[in-house]
Chains A and B, each alone.
Chain A
């Protein structure tokens, strides 16, 4: 199985900060990676797929990059509504797997 390791697990940041989250895969997955955002009490929301393609309706301050085994999700200027938990997911092969999550908290 492909393991996904996210870092950091917790991140304290302020509104306006540039935030970067890393997801490392235990083996190469090309660009078969997605990112989700989950706010408390809500279901996960697809932000990015194919490592760098923004899902429709997602603000452009979100961006994704990487291929192979290392990927990043960047929020260029953190907004109040961005405080949430973020998960990466690999879709290269079965079983599909998610990272452990990164919780972005108010500093």
Chain B
């Protein structure tokens, strides 16, 4: 079975940093694009970033561009999100999600979601 397990939850101060990780299993991780999606009660679902199967094809939402960095290590079946210069608006539940198929546009449909890891930014 496909499993996506996020870690790295935490409380950060405004301007601070966090690193989120996602451990993937149950599928050939190196064949699929992966994304991060976040959710807040007030704003619903917000796509954050995507990375291609080979580490290329990186895209970011405007709201995080220049502050967040997505990466992956296919040898470890792991996805990462480095969050820097955090603000209260980044407080959310962050999901690691798998693209449905290896080729676009199906890389952008999300067929498996982790349970999410909470990030709270507060002083």
Contact = CB atoms under 8 A, between A and B. Distances in A.
Interface in A43-90: 43-44, 46, 49, 55, 87, 89
Interface string A26-39: 00000010101000
A43 B47 contact: no
A102 to B, nearest CB: 11
A83 B77 CA distance: 35
B32 interface: no
Given A32-B105, A95-B47, A98-B45, A46 B111 contact: yes
B113 A49 contact: no
Nearest to B101: A49
26 contacts: A32-B105, A34-B110, A43-B95, A43-B114, A43-B115, A44-B45, A44-B110, A46-B100, A46-B109, A49-B109, A55-B111, A87-B44, A87-B45, A89-B45, A89-B109, A91-B105, A91-B108, A91-B109, A94-B50, A95-B47, A95-B60, A96-B47, A97-B47, A98-B45, A98-B46, A98-B47
Contacts, number: 51
Contacts of A96: 35, 47, 50, 108
B118 interface: no
Contacts of A43: 95, 113-116
Interface string B85-123: 000000000010000100001101111011110000000
Interface residues of A, number: 21
Contacts of A44: 45, 110, 113
A52 to B, nearest CB: 13
A95 B110 CA distance: 15
Nearest to B57: A94
B4 to A, nearest CB: 9
Contacts of B95: 43
B111 A95 contact: no
Given A49-B109, A55-B111, 4 more contacts: A32-B105, A43-B115, A95-B62, A101-B44
B2 interface: no
Contacts of B61: 95
B28 interface: no
